[in-house]
Amino acid sequence: MIELRNLVKCYRLNGVTKYIARNINCTFPTGRSVALMGLNGAGKSSMLKMIAGTLEPDSGEIVSNGTISWPVGFSGSFHGDMTGAQNVKFVARIYGVDTDEMVRFCGDFAELESHYFLPVRTYSSGMRSRLAFAMSMAIPFDTYLIDEITAVGDASFKKKSEALLRDRLRQSAAIFVSHSTEQMERMCQSGAVLQEGRMFYYNDVKKASEHYSYTIKRQLPPWLRKKS
């Protein structure tokens, strides 16, 4: 269970205030994967960061009775002068998992071959993302925070990534952000729409998709709304 209590978060730029959360109260139930939907700029990624604990809310709190991943696929914490394998070892020790097993798993899944033993600063963005995804999946969490990560790589790698994620979600839950409502409906049971600082939670993910589709239509000019 993850509970948002009186959550407030806003950004201020050039005298303009943009609210991500306006006193949000919402509970993500234990064991249910939730699709987090919203227009571009609604604050979905910021919400995931607050749930992960890497971004502080202005006020309110987030409480949980289980373990929560960092945003799956986040590669910003890699040490560039360490090899991919060394970065994996470091994370494995922090989380107390079997170091050798995690190194083997990540090396096989990320398909880095000899690059796995070269400094991460030499990696392409795609290589970094594949390794970051593998590291996230190598550690068991009660809830995975997922932000567009299965878009990484070619069609074969995307298919492999989604299959692994679906396997993990047999035992865990997720809060899932994607621009593909089809993918979110496939992966999640429930849905939440973040709109103008408010959050609307639905037990049925398809109801959330309907709400999200309506918000998209509202952004269209009148002559396009009639055609959609």
Q: Are 61 and 3 a contacting pair, CB within 8 Å? A: no
Regarding whether 207 and 104 lie in a shared domain, the answer is: no
In a domain, 48, yes or no: yes
pLDDT of residue 51: 95
* In a domain? residue 14: no
Say whether pLDDT at 219 is over 60: yes
d(CA 15, CA 26): 29
Residue 145: which domain range?
28-67+141-228
Q: Tell me the per-residue pLDDT of 35-65, one tens digit each, with 9 for 90 and over.
A: 999 999 899 999 999 999 989 999 999 999 9
pLDDT in tens, 157-215: 888 888 998 999 999 999 999 888 888 998 999 999 999 999 999 999 999 999 999 88
Within a domain: residue 2? Answer: no
Which residues face 92 on adjacent strands? none
What CATH number is attached to the domain comprising 36?
3.40.50.300
Domain end: 91, 110, 139, which one? 139
Same domain, residue pair 179 and 208: yes
User: Could you tell me the pTM of the whole model?
Assistant: 0.86
d(CA 201, CA 138): 30
Strands 59-64 and 2-13: antiparallel
The residue out of 96, 112, 139 marking a domain boundary is: 139
Residue 222 has pLDDT above 80, yes or no: no
